[in-house]
Homo-oligomer: A and B are copies of this chain.
């Protein structure tokens, strides 16, 4: 868990467009998740391990075991949000709240996991028209912007525009404009429980966005930023404390209080 250990990254891809859409296959012959994974792998080098999983695996490839050893999860989905099992969504949610980082990409704004983390509709304006997107940095010394040009130019991309129905971000990192004149909060961060969340909007399946070095660099920076620095920690149950006993949380076991950590009974005061 120390800062020099490799970051364990999982890139999750819906991988449906790639099976049915020749145009997408041409751009992403190995699947979008593999292009994303290769991009961040080449930038993070030995500092990270990068695995991929897809929707059609059992448990979508995201078993308890896989998530427990994942530091940062990248999520790309678009047309099959409803096919993601609620049990798996619940599991991812729990791991984020316990410390796992998550990067939600593009159309993942409408994924079950992002909506669960945000508590809002996460809806937005859109138009798929090959707009040029300019990604402007508004937080110049944020680690996610390290080495990113001002602006980062995406030659063609689906338009996502405001109003974007998300909670007020902890940090607004990027704002995009589009040829049509729309604007979008395209890079936003949140803390949720003990985990860090970064949403980054460029990346429609119909454009070669994830082949772009600048985009890859945003993702690599985001992974470094979102990595946990401490082991998972659960806070689902509320700890009880005796007066001025700041160090020994207690749990009610039906008959009396027991030590939160050891389970040892605590005599009534």
Roughly how many angstroms separate A235 CA and B104 CA in the complex, as a whole number?
20
Residue numbers in B under 8 Å from A237 (CB-CB): 123
Q: Give the size of the chain A interface in residues (CB under 8 angstroms).
A: 72
Copies in the complex: 4
Q: Is A134 interfacial (CB 8 A cutoff)?
A: yes
Partner of A175, one of B123, B162, B179: B162
Residue numbers in B under 8 Å from A131 (CB-CB): 243
Q: Is A217 interfacial (CB 8 A cutoff)?
A: no
Q: Is A136 interfacial (CB 8 A cutoff)?
A: yes
Partner of A236, one of B119, B123, B129, B239: B123
**Nearest chain-B residue to A117 (Cβ)?**
B119
Q: Give the interface segment out of A11-19, A70-78, A165-173, A204-212.
A: A165-173
Residue numbers in B under 8 Å from A229 (CB-CB): 141, 143, 146
Q: Which positions 16-51 of chain A face chain B at CB distance < 8 Å? A: none
Interchain CB contact under 8 A, A165 and B193? yes
Residue numbers in B under 8 Å from A116 (CB-CB): 119
Distance in angstroms from A214 CB to nearest chain B CB is 13
Distance in angstroms from A232 CB to nearest chain B CB is 12
Residue numbers in B under 8 Å from A192 (CB-CB): 119-120, 167
Partner of A136, one of B167, B183, B242: B183
Query: Which 5 pairs show the lowest CB-CB distances between chains A and B?
Result: A177-B177, A180-B243, A117-B119, A123-B238, A119-B119
Binding site for B on A (CB under 8 A): 97, 99, 110, 116-121, 123-127, 129, 131-132, 134, 136-141, 143, 146, 149-151, 153, 161-165, 167-168, 170-172, 175-183, 185, 190-194, 196, 228-230, 235-244, 246-247, 249
